[in-house]
Amino acid sequence: MNEKIKLEVKCNEERMIAFRRDLHRYPELSWQEIRTTNRVVMELERLGISYRRMEPTGIVAELVGAKPGKMVALRADMDALPVVELSDTLSYKSQNDGKMHACGHDAHTAMLLCAAEALVAVQDELAGTVRFIFQPAEEITEGAEAMIQQGAMEGVDNVFGIHIWSQMPTNTISCHAGAVFASADVVEIKFTGRGGHGAMPDACIDATVVASAFVMGVQAIVSRETDPLEPAVFTVGRMEAGTRYNVIAEHAVLEGTVRSFHPQVREKMEHAISRFAKQTAATYGATAEVNYRYGTHAVINEEVSATLAQRVAVSSFGDGVLYSDRPTTAGEDFSYYLQEAPGCFALVGSGNAEKDTEWAHHHGRFNIDEDAMVRGAELYAQYAYTYLMENPE
């Protein structure tokens, strides 16, 4: 633990919270983070940290230490969601109708800026470079790839990210080795039958019936074709069929998502869903077109990096800070950074019943316990500092 970093973060707590509330008040959706990008740039210029704007939004900044060494990257996402904020008591409630920071990205951005300010205070001690990645478009899982394509991970030896987590108690930290977030794929299926009059079903092939049979039976893939010790989830979230009450539908369209932690399970689900859809359609004399799109990979924490994060957390905050949390089947495009360099992704708890901050992420009443932000900011900075000090070039 670096005591100067701890003191710097604490001294800048009010500024960090104010910045987070400003972003919360003016949320911007994926690829629309223009104001957010400009606000981050203003802070980086105040700190004297060099930066590069990305296209169309986002920033990569660098703090070069006084001594040569490796490069560690710290990542925060910046985009909001198309969610209506339901709280009427917040002084910093969203002013942009139908848009809300309902996942904590406003806090991530503010914490990373606070960490950057703390690292500036120890720049003369740093042996290496800290790269700060302020990423757009995480919510649509496009931002990380775009940042990487524009060079965000070039020369990076290790990468670290944080997510505020309302399902964990405030100030706890979870960063275990192995799977943390699942891969997140999208499935689109179009069933085609033969439409006709609702009073003459014998002359038709009802696509609604075909789609319904598929939905009712497809979970057998999970229960009977995948290893029960290797989780998989297939959810059909959208079904559209028919045009009128007395017309038998010729087409039915389904959209769903597949979540898993292991590449072999992911591949098995892809093939099994396609097979099941086509065979179900054939049973009724219909056809099926399946479009299976790979989304984010699973977030798999590298063991050495996760151990480092745990050690940094205990050194900074005490033995009781670590929280044993199970992997979540939510998706996170931080996984793309881990394809480029070893690293890990930590969860910082912000759930507090007394402050009403235990709502699920993406809910209209989601909010964070801002007391958690100090630990999040310090964890960012202490991780980068410790990694560089312990891994000389």
Say if residues 123 and 63 touch (Cβ distance below 8 Å). yes
Phi first, then psi: give them for residue 120, nearest 5 degrees: -60, -35
Residues assigned a catalytic role: 79, 138
Angle between helices 207-217 and 263-283 (to 10 degrees): 140
> What pLDDT, on a 0 to 100 scale, did the predictor assign at position 114?
98
pLDDT above 80 (res 265):
yes
Say if residues 208 and 249 touch (Cβ distance below 8 Å). yes
Cβ neighbors of 235 (< 8 A, separation 6 or more) are: 256, 257
> What pLDDT, on a 0 to 100 scale, did the predictor assign at position 88?
86
- The fold of 183-296 is Alpha-Beta Plaits (3.30.70)
pLDDT above 80 (res 1):
no
> What's the whole-number mean pLDDT along residues 338-365?
97
> What pLDDT, on a 0 to 100 scale, did the predictor assign at position 173?
97
> What's the whole-number mean pLDDT along residues 313-330?
93
Q: Tell me which amino acid residue 375 is.
A: R
> What pLDDT, on a 0 to 100 scale, did the predictor assign at position 375?
97
Cβ neighbors of 342 (< 8 A, separation 6 or more) are: 157, 158, 159, 302, 304, 305
Residue 163 is labelled as binding a ligand: yes
For the chain, what is the total number of helices (H) and then of strands (E)?
11, 15
Strand order in the sheet with 67-77: 50-53, 59-64, 127-135, 67-77, 158-169, 343-351, 173-174
Q: Does the bond joining 56 to the residue before it have cis omega, within 30 degrees of 0?
A: yes
Mean pLDDT of the chain: 96
β-pair type (251-260, 183-192): antiparallel
> What's the whole-number mean pLDDT along residues 252-271?
96
Domain boundaries defined on the chain? 3-180+298-390, 183-296
Q: Is 170 helix (H, G, I), strand (E, B) or coil?
A: coil
> What pLDDT, on a 0 to 100 scale, did the predictor assign at position 342?
98
Residue 354 is labelled as binding a ligand: no
For residue 11 the two structure tokens come to 């001294």
Q: Please list the residues that pair with 254 across neighbouring strands.
A: 189, 239
For residue 236 the two structure tokens come to 């059909």
For residue 243 the two structure tokens come to 């045009």
> What pLDDT, on a 0 to 100 scale, did the predictor assign at position 326?
87
pLDDT above 90 (res 171):
no
| CATH architecture under which domain 3-180+298-390 falls | 3-Layer(aba) Sandwich (3.40)
Confidence of residue 392 (pLDDT cuts 50, 70, 90): confident
> pLDDT, tens digit, for every residue of 96-146?
999 999 999 999 999 999 999 999 999 999 999 999 999 999 999 999 999
Say if residues 249 and 193 touch (Cβ distance below 8 Å). yes
Residue 103 is labelled as binding a ligand: yes
pLDDT above 80 (res 393):
no
Closest CA to 120 of 393, 312, 384, 387: 384
Say if residues 357 and 34 touch (Cβ distance below 8 Å). no
Say if residues 373 and 335 touch (Cβ distance below 8 Å). no
Residue 105 is labelled as binding a ligand: yes
Check the CA dihedral 180-265-147-22 and report its sign.
negative
Tokens 């099926």 label which residue?
A: 288
Residue 8 is labelled as binding a ligand: no
Confidence of residue 206 (pLDDT cuts 50, 70, 90): very high
Q: Please list the residues that pair with 232 across neighbouring strands.
A: 260
For residue 182 the two structure tokens come to 């699942």
Tokens 């989601």 label which residue?
A: 366
> What pLDDT, on a 0 to 100 scale, did the predictor assign at position 325?
81
> What's the whole-number mean pLDDT along residues 193-208?
97
CA 340 to chain centre: 17
> What's the whole-number mean pLDDT along residues 77-90?
95
| pTM of the entire predicted model | 0.92
